Amino acid sequence: MGFSPIGEYRPGTSVLHRLPVGTKLLGLVVLSILAVAFRGVPTTSALLGLAVIGCVVGGVPVRRAARSLRGMLVAMVFLAAYQTWQRGPERAYVVVGALVALLLLATVFTTTTQVERMIDAITRWLEPFRRFGVRPELVALAFSLMIRGIPLTLEIAAETRDAARARGLDRNPRAYLTPLVIRVVAHARATGDALHARGIGDD
């Protein structure tokens, strides 16, 4: 069974659930900029603190928070090792800590925000661009398909890897990557057919 590395919506009544989508997204963008613009131990520590508070307030279960980090674990370990080697442990903490904090904050956002609300918000924001040929509903739908596509692609990847293993081909990248790409593209085409059949994109 697949899972989404950025978490999925969990119903709730917390203040984070009630905040408008735009406010939460803007907050996430501002914190990301702060993490880069004011790089240092105090900023990273503050971001980590905020992320933990966000997880608690938004009701993000520990397992889900850990799962959101698991996908980046290898990259983070390498990054931490490289930074420690090149610039010392303090720098490693600043860089990797900020990355962990932002991943957790993104998980808080997706856990407390219904995709339908995101679609409504994106549609509203893009409305002024309709005169330039932009179709806000389609952009918003593409966004939701991307979110839905993450766990699906991981599910297909797991099945394809198992199939390669079952044939004793687990060390052959072609036996894994070729069917993975074919299945993802086939799924994309099937999804296109399904959207067409549901009349989405007709208007």
Which residues sit at the interface with another protein, rule CB under 8 A?
1-2, 4, 8-11, 114-117, 120, 141, 144-145, 147-148, 151-152, 155, 187, 190-191, 193-200, 202-203
**In the chain, how long is the greatest CA-to-CA distance?**
57
- The residue type found at 115 is V
Six-digit token pair at 144?
Answer: 């939701």
Cβ closer to another protein: 27 or 149?
Answer: 149
Shortest distance, CB of residue 82 to another protein, whole angstroms? 35
Cβ closer to another protein: 118 or 175?
Answer: 118
Cβ closer to another protein: 41 or 142?
Answer: 142
Shortest distance, CB of residue 64 to another protein, whole angstroms? 11
The length of the chain in residues reads 203
Shortest distance, CB of residue 188 to another protein, whole angstroms? 9
Give start and end residues of each alpha helix (H) in the chain: 15-18, 21-37, 41-58, 62-70, 73-87, 89-112, 115-126, 136-166, 173-197
| 166 CA to centre of own chain | 30
Cβ closer to another protein: 159 or 170?
Answer: 159
Shortest distance, CB of residue 168 to another protein, whole angstroms? 27
Distance CA 133, CA 107 (A): 33
Cβ closer to another protein: 9 or 79?
Answer: 9
Q: Around Cβ 21, how many Cβ atoms within 10 Å? A: 19
Shortest distance, CB of residue 65 to another protein, whole angstroms? 17
Closest-CA residue to 47 (of 30, 70, 72) = 30
